[in-house]
Structure formats: structure tokens, C-alpha cells
């Protein structure tokens, strides 16, 4: 064996929990050679006098700077520094109280891989993100459907809110299907442990930040999924939840101090009125209610102004990237976080991982409101450093009304034109993630009232517009569902369970419309993998004329024209009017059907269709 192998075996054999006094350390381990080398460990002991003790170490390259006790005597905060030259090994943390010594061994590991090259690579317009709920995608290992000792023992596919048994093994089994769609990045709803009594299928009530849910396959299963993605050249996106946690969280159930949470005399929910954060006329009470109000009763709200809480969350964010090799982070409920904390956490992550991508969930109705939470050109007292957001306004105020309304001066396709024009608000609009639906919204196909033509236009826009496209599992085969009840938008992917009558992976049982939709996504998803114009090209749009909307994606070497006809009659493309982008070209090949057209002849877009034309 090599020295490195022997060291790894020794580290694996060393228990984090000492026998005489059960001690847990957060974060559970760290790595040598990190930029982030000043840490604040939270130690939790098993008795109420643990905090009366001292903590010391004699490990070379590790210095304990400060030890702080809390009113809850089971906790200590230990501020340490890891020298740049510290060697991997098991750091003995010696706890002494009344002459009784207990030693817990805290691992410092060797880093695996190079950030920016092997992981933390970031995402861009060259990527296509696939969002899925692991419990609802595919069951690859029935042995973990129920895990003894966990509070939620439900397993009933007929119940929207029970667990259905999907897991990492099921996802791994179907990664090649995703790749056939053109998918390059996988985003799953949170996979950290959710040991709550019920409604654990969504994952947003975290109960342990250092455990991946065993019902999905645990920490090792998650690493197998990461390895399977990397072997296919695909990326992993984490769904991170900083704002709140679950009521059964290992720390929340026994708080070090009461001010670790935003406390109220009785349950007080957030107002969800983001305007209070930038409104020049807003009251202090409205600001507090927006930020400090709880999301729901089952999800306590972290007090991120508490420096110990801020350190706990930030260190875990970095630990998670390093431990599991994620490439990008979707930041849940971003606008409900304390904004100063959010900026500081972003700085810490980008300092450690300069290439990683961060994009926040800011589900609002208006472009200025959304842009406020990202890097922007708006003159406000607070300036966000978040590189990008999920572009809900392009959905709510753009593609949805564009296809749902009849075209007019103020209606229909002009809304999408306007939404794209609002990009002047952002510093880097091309980093925004565009979408049609997700686990919190009605399926787009449902919003289109089952109109297949409109669904196809929407997906053609999604896969050709500026930004990073994100599709929601099953929408490529016309899955439908509304949010009342919300379980209808979280149904099982067809074919993910043995015996399913319909199998979208193999095509068995799909209707002609479903197969046609899936084929369109595959065609465009595959094309954009080799299209520099769609991956990183500039964006130019033309004012809609009679319900016909045309935009271009272009580089020095490739020009792609996208023409969307939202009307119920054919529309002719005015090529001379588009000469700024069409000049010098004579032909246009339809990317979807392969037919070539002459630019000297009339190009007519049929009713309710969108063409993607590569100019030659």
C-alpha cells in the first residue's frame, strides 16, 4: 500500500465520537491546503456541563485561538487555524473538565481533485440543467425505501405527500437518457437528511447538514452519483437551503443559544413582500417581517446575523462543495436570507471556488424586484453580489403571456420582447437561469391547457434564448399537473418504477404527441451541444410584428435565427428588415427538420410554430 492509502484507511477507522463523552464536531472534517483555513468548530457533548471544560490540541500546524461557551452547557465553539503547511491526519481535540480527559479525533484530509477542473466547474449557456425530485424520478434500490429509525416510514405511490422510493441508484441508471436529451447538468431538490415526521419528499426541511438522506443512498450513494455524472462529462448542481431548516434539526432541537433562530412570541410567517427590502418608504417592521418571518411552522428561520450561525452555514456550504464535488449551487429562497450574510457567504464560496456558479431563487413578479437580488445596474443602498438568479420574470412576464394571450399592442408576444429588454438591469444577464416550470409551479403544459404546439414553442425558446436553460423532469413528455394540490406537479416520472404502464425512458406507452415532444427536446438539446451561437453567442431581438417574434444568437462563426409565430395564421419573415444579421447569408437550414431554405425566397413560418434556422 502507498502512504496515502494507509493514511486514508487510518482516517476511516478513527471514530469522531469519543467513548467517554459523546462529542460531535461540526464541520465533521476539513482539508489541508484550503483557502478557508480559519474555522469555527462547534462541539456538542452529551452532558450539560460539557461547556465548562477546556479544549486543546498538540497537532503540528493546528492552532486553537479561542474557546467559547454557550448558555446551553452541551456546546463549545472552538476557533482554530490550519497552517498552510498542515499535513493530513487525525487532529486530537482534548476536552478536559475536572481532571477528566476525553479526546475526539477530527480528520484533516488531503484534497481530491482540482477546483475549477475536476469539480466546482460552474455552469454556463453551454449547459442544459435537468431538475428532478429524487424521490419521484426512479427507484433503483428498493432496500432503502424505508430506513429503520427515521420518523417518516410512509411508502405509498398513490399518496402525493408520502415517500415513493426514488433514489440515487435510480438516477444513475437513467443518466444516459438525460444525456440523450442534451442534458449536461443535474439539479436535484435537496438531498440532505430530512428526518421529519411527514412531507419529507421535497427535502427542504433539513435535519442534519452533514448527512445525505439514507433513503436516497446516503453520503456514499451521493458520491457514486457524482462519479457517474463526471464519467459522462456531466455536472452536479446543489440545491442549498440557508434561510431555514427543519424543526427536528440536530442543533435546532437543542439550541446553543435562543438567538440562533429568529424568535417571535408566536409563529410569525414571512410577509413574502420583497419590496420592503428596497422600498425607500418601507417601515422597519415590514423589513423585519420579510426577512425574519418563518417560511412555515416546520421550518425554523436561522438568525444569520448571529456570527456563530453565519459561520455554521458558510462552513457547511464550503464543506459540501469539497466533500461532494458539486459544480454549481442553486440558492433556495434567496430573498428571505439576511442580505448582508448572503453577500458574505457568496464571497467565501467564490474565494474558495472562483469558477463555481451561484444562482438564487427569487420568485417575484417584476424585473426590477428580481434584479435587485443579483449583480445589477440599479442605484440602491444595498448592492447584491449574487452573480445570477432563476429568471422567473422571463417566465411570468415573458414566455407565459406570450403564448397564453392573443397578440396585440400590449398583449401576447410583446411581453417576451419586453422581458428580454429588461436585461439592461443586470450586469450579467447571460448567467440567469431560464425555466418554464419547477416543483413549486404548475406544469407549463397545464398552463397551456394541453396545447402541444404552444409547449413545443416554449421549449424551442427555452433551448435557444439567452441564459442557462433549466427543464423540469417529465415536461419533455408532456407531464401535466397543477399546484392545487401541489403534489400534482410532483408526480412520478413514467417508467421509473417496475410495472409502470408508460415508460418515458424506453418510449413504451408514450402517445404520438408525447414522443414528438421528447424528440424535439432531444433534437434541440443535442444541437445546442455543438452550437457556439446558442452556447455563448450574443443576443439580438427584433420588435414583434403581427405576432411574429424574431431573435438571433450569433458569434463570429455562426448565426442562428429563431422565429416564433404565436398567431393562428402563417407569417412571412421580412428578410430585408433583418439585414443587420442576415446580410452576407444566402441560405438557412431548419435545425429541427433539416430542410434548407433560400433567403432570396419567401420564408413563411406556419401558425403556432417556432423555427430555428442556422444561416449559411
User: Which domains occur in the chain, in start order?
Assistant: 3-109 (2.60.40.10), 538-615 (2.60.40.1180)
Q: Quick one: three-class SS letters along 405-448?
A: CCCCCCCCCHHHHHHHHHHHHECCHHHCEEECCCCCCCCHHHHC
User: Grid coordinates in use for 597?
Assistant: 431554405
User: Grid coordinates in use for 77?
Assistant: 465553539
Question: 136-154, pLDDT tens digit by residue?
Answer: 999 999 999 999 999 999 9
User: Grid coordinates in use for 50?
Assistant: 460539557
The answer to whether residue 4 scores a pLDDT higher than 90 is no
Q: 410: buried, middle or exposed (CB in 10 Å: 19+, 13-18, 0-12)? A: exposed
The answer to whether residue 2 scores a pLDDT higher than 60 is no
- CA-based radius of gyration for the chain: 26
pLDDT reported for residue 522: 98
- Bridge partners, 529 (sequence order): none
pLDDT reported for residue 333: 98
Residues making up the chain, counted from first to last: 616
Question: 82-129, pLDDT tens digit by residue?
Answer: 999 999 999 999 999 999 999 999 999 999 999 999 999 999 999 999
* Inter-residue contact 74 to 288 (CB < 8 Å): no
Closest CA to 29 of 96, 82, 97, 95: 82
- At 13, which helix (H) or strand (E)? helix 3-13
The answer to whether residue 3 scores a pLDDT higher than 70 is no
Helix (H, G, I), strand (E, B) or coil at 187: strand
Q: Say which of 127, 152, 332, 614 is annotated catalytic.
A: 332
Distance between CA atoms of residues 232 and 235, nearest Å:
9
Question: 194-245, pLDDT tens digit by residue?
Answer: 999 999 999 999 999 999 999 999 999 999 999 999 999 999 999 999 999 9
Stretch 160-180: mean pLDDT, rounded?
97
Distance between CA atoms of residues 417 and 405, nearest Å:
14
The answer to whether residue 8 scores a pLDDT higher than 60 is no
Distance between CA atoms of residues 217 and 29, nearest Å:
21
Distance between CA atoms of residues 251 and 461, nearest Å:
45
pLDDT reported for residue 264: 97
Q: 58: buried, middle or exposed (CB in 10 Å: 19+, 13-18, 0-12)? A: exposed
pLDDT reported for residue 281: 97
Is 546 considered catalytic here? no
The C-alpha angle 441, 446, 452, rounded to 5 degrees, equals 130
C-alpha dist (Å) from residue 584 to 116, 173, 575, 581, 588? 39, 47, 12, 9, 12
CA 451 vs. chain centroid, Å, equals 29
User: pLDDT-derived band of residue 586, with 50, 70 and 90 as boundaries?
Assistant: very high
User: pLDDT-derived band of residue 14, with 50, 70 and 90 as boundaries?
Assistant: very low
User: pLDDT-derived band of residue 66, with 50, 70 and 90 as boundaries?
Assistant: very high
In the chain, DSSP finds a helix count (H) and a strand count (E) of 17, 26
pLDDT reported for residue 15: 44
Phi, psi of 468 (to 5 degrees): -110, 115
Contact residues for 253 (Cβ-Cβ < 8 A; gap 6+): 247
Stretch 331-356: mean pLDDT, rounded?
98
Is 193 considered catalytic here? no
The answer to whether residue 7 scores a pLDDT higher than 90 is no
Contact residues for 429 (Cβ-Cβ < 8 A; gap 6+): 423, 466, 467
The answer to whether residue 613 scores a pLDDT higher than 70 is yes
Question: 448-497, pLDDT tens digit by residue?
Answer: 999 999 999 999 999 999 999 999 999 999 999 999 998 999 999 999 99
User: pLDDT-derived band of residue 512, with 50, 70 and 90 as boundaries?
Assistant: very high
Question: 550-564, pLDDT tens digit by residue?
Answer: 999 999 999 999 999
pLDDT reported for residue 97: 96
Where on the phi/psi map is residue 6: left (φ > 0), alpha (ψ -120 to 50), or beta? alpha
Distance between CA atoms of residues 201 and 159, nearest Å:
11
Q: Say which of 127, 213, 361, 614 is annotated catalytic.
A: 361
- Find the DSSP H helices in 300-386: 307-324, 339-352, 367-371
* Inter-residue contact 53 to 76 (CB < 8 Å): yes
Question: 246-302, pLDDT tens digit by residue?
Answer: 999 999 999 999 999 999 999 999 999 999 999 999 999 999 999 999 999 999 999
User: Grid coordinates in use for 53?
Assistant: 471544560
* Inter-residue contact 429 to 124 (CB < 8 Å): no
C-alpha dist (Å) from residue 342 to 306, 346, 385, 486? 13, 6, 9, 29
The answer to whether residue 19 scores a pLDDT higher than 90 is no
Q: Worst-scoring range by mean pLDDT, 8-17, 372-381, 459-468?
A: 8-17
For 220-327, strand residue ranges (E) read: 235-240
pLDDT reported for residue 189: 98
User: Grid coordinates in use for 421?
Assistant: 429588454
pLDDT reported for residue 465: 98
> Helix, strand, coil: what percent of the chain each, to 5?
30, 25, 45
Place of cell 424568535: 263
Helix (H, G, I), strand (E, B) or coil at 134: helix
Distance between CA atoms of residues 241 and 313, nearest Å:
9
The answer to whether residue 6 scores a pLDDT higher than 90 is no
The answer to whether residue 176 scores a pLDDT higher than 80 is yes
Closest CA to 169 of 231, 211, 223: 223
Question: 396-418, pLDDT tens digit by residue?
Answer: 999 999 999 999 999 999 999 99
CA contacts within 13 A on the Cβ side of 218: 7
* Inter-residue contact 32 to 72 (CB < 8 Å): no
Amino acid at each position: 500500500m502507498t502512504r496515502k492509502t494507509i493514511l486514508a484507511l487510518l482516517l476511516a477507522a478513527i471514530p469522531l465520537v469519543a467513548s467517554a463523552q459523546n462529542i460531535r464536531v461540526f464541520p465533521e472534517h476539513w482539508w489541508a491546503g484550503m483557502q478557508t483555513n480559519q474555522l469555527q468548530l462547534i462541539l456538542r457533548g452529551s452532558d450539560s456541563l460539557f461547556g465548562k471544560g477546556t479544549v486543546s490540541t498538540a497537532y503540528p500546524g493546528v492552532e486553537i485561538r479561542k474557546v467559547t461557551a454557550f448558555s446551553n452547557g452541551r456546546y463549545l465553539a472552538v476557533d482554530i487555524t490550519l497552517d498552510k503547511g498542515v499535513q493530513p491526519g487525525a487532529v486530537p481535540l482534548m476536552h478536559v473538565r475536572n481532571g477528566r480527559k476525553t479526546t475526539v479525533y477530527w480528520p484533516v484530509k488531503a484534497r481530491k481533485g482540482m477546483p475549477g477542473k475536476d469539480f466546482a466547474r460552474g455552469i454556463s449557456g453551454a449547459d442544459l440543467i435537468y431538475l428532478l425530485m429524487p424521490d419521484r424520478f426512479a427507484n433503483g434500490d428498493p432496500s432503502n425505501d424505508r430506513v429503520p429509525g427515521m420518523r417518516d416510514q410512509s411508502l405509498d405511490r398513490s399518496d402525493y405527500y408520502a415517500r415513493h422510493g426514488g433514489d440515487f441508484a435510480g438516477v444513475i441508471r437513467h443518466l444516459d437518457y438525460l444525456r440523450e436529451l442534451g442534458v449536461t447538468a443535474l439539479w436535484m431538490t435537496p438531498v440532505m437528511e430530512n428526518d421529519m415526521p411527514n412531507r419529507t419528499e421535497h427535502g427542504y426541511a433539513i435535519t442534519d447538514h452533514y448527512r445525505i438522506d439514507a433513503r436516497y443512498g446516503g453520503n456514499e450513494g451521493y458520491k457514486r452519483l457524482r462519479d457517474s455524472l463526471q464519467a459522462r462529462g456531466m455536472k452536479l448542481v446543489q440545491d442549498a437551503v440557508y434561510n431555514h431548516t427543519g424543526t427536528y434539526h440536530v442543533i435546532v432541537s437543542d439550541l446553543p443559544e435562543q438567538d440562533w433562530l429568529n424568535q417571535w412570541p408566536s409563529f410569525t410567517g414571512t410577509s413574502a413582500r420583497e419590496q420592503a427590502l428596497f422600498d425607500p418608504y418601507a417601515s422597519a417592521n415590514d423589513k423585519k417581517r420579510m426577512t425574519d418571518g418563518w417560511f412555515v411552522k416546520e421550518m425554523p428561520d436561522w438568525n444569520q446575523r448571529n456570527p456563530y450561525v453565519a459561520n455554521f452555514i458558510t462552513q457547511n456550504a464550503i464543506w459540501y462543495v469539497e466533500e461532494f464535488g458539486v459544480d454549481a449551487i442553486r440558492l433556495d429562497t434567496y430573498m428571505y436570507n439576511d442580505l448582508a450574510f448572503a453577500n458574505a457567504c457568496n464571497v467565501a464560496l467564490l474565494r474558495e471556488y472562483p469558477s463555481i456558479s451561484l444562482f438564487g431563487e427569487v420568485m417575484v413578479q417584476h424585473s426590477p424586484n428580481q434584479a435587485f437580488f443579483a449583480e445589477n445596474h440599479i442605484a440602491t443602498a444595498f448592492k447584491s453580489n449574487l452573480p445570477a438568479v432563476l429568471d422567473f420574470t422571463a417566465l411570468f412576464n415573458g414566455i407565459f403571456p406570450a403564448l397564453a394571450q392573443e397578440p396585440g399592442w400590449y398583449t401576447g408576444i410583446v411581453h417576451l420582447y419586453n422581458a428580454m429588454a429588461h436585461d439592461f438591469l443586470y450586469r450579467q444577464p447571460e448567467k440567469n437561469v431560464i425555466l418554464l416550470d419547477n416543483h413549486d409551479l404548475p406544469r407549463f403544459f397545464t398552463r397551456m391547457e394541453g396545447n402541444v404546439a404552444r409547449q413545443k414553442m416554449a421549449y424551442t425558446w427555452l433551448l435557444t434564448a439567452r441564459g442557462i436553460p433549466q427543464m423540469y423532469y417529465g415536461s419533455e413528455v408532456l407531464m401535466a399537473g397543477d399546484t392545487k394540490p401541489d403534489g400534482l406537479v410532483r408526480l412520478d416520472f413514467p417508467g421509473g418504477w417496475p410495472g409502470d404502464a408508460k415508460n418515458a425512458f424506453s418510449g413504451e406507452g408514450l402517445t404520438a404527441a408525447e414522443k414528438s415532444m421528447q424528440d424535439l427536446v432531444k433534437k434541440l438539446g443535442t444541437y445546442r451541444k455543438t452550437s457556439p451561437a446558442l452556447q455563448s453567442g450574443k443576443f439580438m431581438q427584433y420588435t414583434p410584428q403581427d405576432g411574429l417574434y424574431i431573435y438571433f444568437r450569433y458569434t463570429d462563426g455562426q448565426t442562428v435565427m429563431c422565429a416564433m409565430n404565436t398567431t393562428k395564421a402563417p407569417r412571412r419573415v421580412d428578410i430585408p428588415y433583418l439585414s443587420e444579421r442576415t446580410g452576407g447569408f444566402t441560405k438557412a437550414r431548419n435545425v429541427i427538420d433539416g430542410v434548407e431554405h433560400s433567403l432570396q425566397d419567401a420564408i413563411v413560418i406556419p401558425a403556432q410554430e417556432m423555427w430555428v434556422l442556422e444561416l449559411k
